[in-house]
Amino acid sequence: MTQRITIDPITRLEGHGKIEIFLDDAGNVANSYFQIPELRGFERFCVGRPIEEMPLITNRICGVCPEAHHMAASKAADMVYKVDPPRTGKMLRELLYSAFYCTDHTTHFYALGGPDFVMGPDAPVAERNILGVIHKVGLEIGGKVIQMRKYGHTVVEMLGGRKVHPCTSIPGGMTKGITEEQRKEIEEMGRWAIDFAHFSLKLFNDIVLGNKGYVDLILGDVYTHRTYYMGLVDENNKVNFYDGKVRVVDPNGKEFVKYAPKDYAEHIAEHVEPWTYLKFPYLKKVGWKGFVDGIDSGVYMATPLSRLNASDGMATPRAQEEYEKFYATLGGKPVHQRLAIHWARLIELLYAAERWVELATDSEITSADVHTRPTQTPTEGIGIVEAPRGTLTHHYWTDERGIVTKVNLIVGTTNNYAPIQMSTHKAATSLIKDGVVNEGLLNMVEMAFRAYDPCFGCATHSLPGQMPLEITIRDADGNPVKVLKQFC
């Protein structure tokens, strides 16, 4: 028997992860609901502003990935003006973005995802953080993480004009180029980043892949879903973070569709559930069949693992070697185990570092031709990039003066809301049997959604570093039988 539930709208707006689990008469999981907050009014906030403001405003949506919004917004603004930036302008954007990726993926692995593995999923929560990693593995790691971040910030500041919220990518290209002296400095930092990415992959290899328990955890059924996968690819179907077409593969790894950003609305629809304000994107041509996996369900995932699954490889040589090792170790493509996202993230870190150096050593990177002046009447534009945590879509409509009349955004985490819901449900189902709640439930649920690197509150920053989480378990009559809390 499944309980009918009503959730007060105020409850829905709790500023942290809240999961309600409903048990059936036998004490097993009937339903679970992972509720997350949603920010409102962004479209209303943007309408009436000049399109040129969008790359500056949208990068304030989120304190974590302003660079991703800056890039998607300026690409959409390019299309609004029907202007194609010069090659150097595009390369500078991608160079900035590659340095940002290195910073972001490093932070996630060492401060968020890594501690679960390095310290072990059963370690006390207070030890599962970056300090725990340093105490266990050595001080050297902390220094490298800080150095990697410093180099990433430096490149973003050099190219983006500001350390945190870049402002140089505008409709038609960039506002400024780089000097030969800056180029040399950027190249040097990029070469260090490649070594750091190798170091990180070796660490993963030694600590995680060298531990049978962890490998079993990754390959186990608890964190496995056979869904569709999405990612941007270049003309050779290789992973690209900044540009290309969106490719989707089915649960068997076969290409389902490849579309240009402008066609996204033909392929993506959004499902609404009564218990949350956030919508669940799905593949329109497959259809919404509920929170289920398989080839007949339109649920897809957009994460580092998805990008690898949706591509035919990496466009740089060393990352390609790691890509091949990844699939050889995990049994071929596609990989459905969600905890493998952590490993995929490190392969992307290496790709981003290699791409950083490739771009910094291109003979045209110091060209002064960084901007094409827009001359067309503005209308409508769509820009898609891969944010670290998923495919990011910006869609703007303007009047003939370039004043924004309508906005639609699909942010990275939103793509993954349905898979995250499925993963937390599966973790709960495996740890609650016949009314007995396994004490490891909080950790296992936390690991389930942490792999996705979700950005729940985008701009609020109000979610603490240690994810506050409250799980309420209710019996068949809807009465709470157990409440598990962490950091709240």
Partner 1 sequence: MKTLVIGLGNPILGDDGVGWKVAEEVKKQLPQDAPVDVDFLSLGGISLMEHLIGYERAILIDAFALDEPTGSILVLKLSDLPNYSAFHTTSTHDTSLQTAIELGKSMGAHLPADVEIVGIATGRIYDFSEELSAPVADAVPFAAHIVLDLLRQTIRS
Q: Does 249 bind partner 1 (CB under 8 A)?
A: no
- Say if residue 464 is preceded by a cis peptide, omega within 30 of 0: no
- Which residues, numbered 403-462, are part of the site for partner 1 (CB under 8 A)? 453-457, 459-462
Give CA–CA dist 83/77, Å, rounded. 9
Question: Which member of 18, 75, 108, 336 binds partner 1 (CB under 8 A)?
Answer: 108
Residue 41 binds to partner 1 (criterion: CB under 8 A) = yes
Least separation in angstroms between CB 1 and partner 1: 35
Number of residues that bind partner 1 (CB under 8 A): 49
- CA distance readout (Å), 195 to 172, 188, 242, 432: 34, 11, 23, 44
Which of 21, 29, 64, 102 lies at the binding interface for partner 1 (CB under 8 A)? 64
Residue 342 CB, shortest distance to partner 1, in Å, is 14
d(CA 398, CA 357): 37
Q: Give just the sign of the alpha carbon dihedral 260, 57, 102, 337.
A: negative
The site string for partner 1 over 1-40 (x = CB under 8 A, - otherwise) reads ------------x-x---------------------xxxx
Phi, psi (rounded to 5 degrees) for 404: -65, 130
Distances (CA, A) of 407 to 80, 404, 410: 12, 8, 10
Binding segment toward partner 1, per CB under 8 A, in 71-79, 129-137, 211-219, 347-355 = 129-137
In the complex with partner 1, the residue whose CB is nearer, 41 or 317, is 41
Per CB under 8 A, the segment of 70-78, 141-149, 258-266, 360-368 that binds partner 1 is 141-149
Instruction: Name the minimum Å distance from CB 42 to partner 1.
Output: 5
Q: By C-alpha distance, which of 69, 65, 67 is closest to 410?
A: 69
Measured CA to CA, the distance from residue 374 to residue 84 in angstroms comes to: 9
Nearer to partner 1, 38 or 273 (CB): 38
| Angstrom distance (rounded) from CA 384 to CA 231 | 10
Which run of H or E residues covers position 228? strand 228-233
Q: Which of 77, 102, 130, 248 contacts partner 1 by CB under 8 A? A: 130
Pick the binder of partner 1 from 447, 463, 469, 473 (CB under 8 A).
Answer: 463
HSE, side-chain direction, 13 A CA sphere, residue 83: 26
| Contact positions vs partner 1 (CB under 8 A) | 13, 15, 37-42, 44-45, 57, 60, 63-64, 104, 107-108, 111-112, 129-131, 134, 139, 142-143, 146, 149-150, 153, 164-165, 453-457, 459-468, 487-488
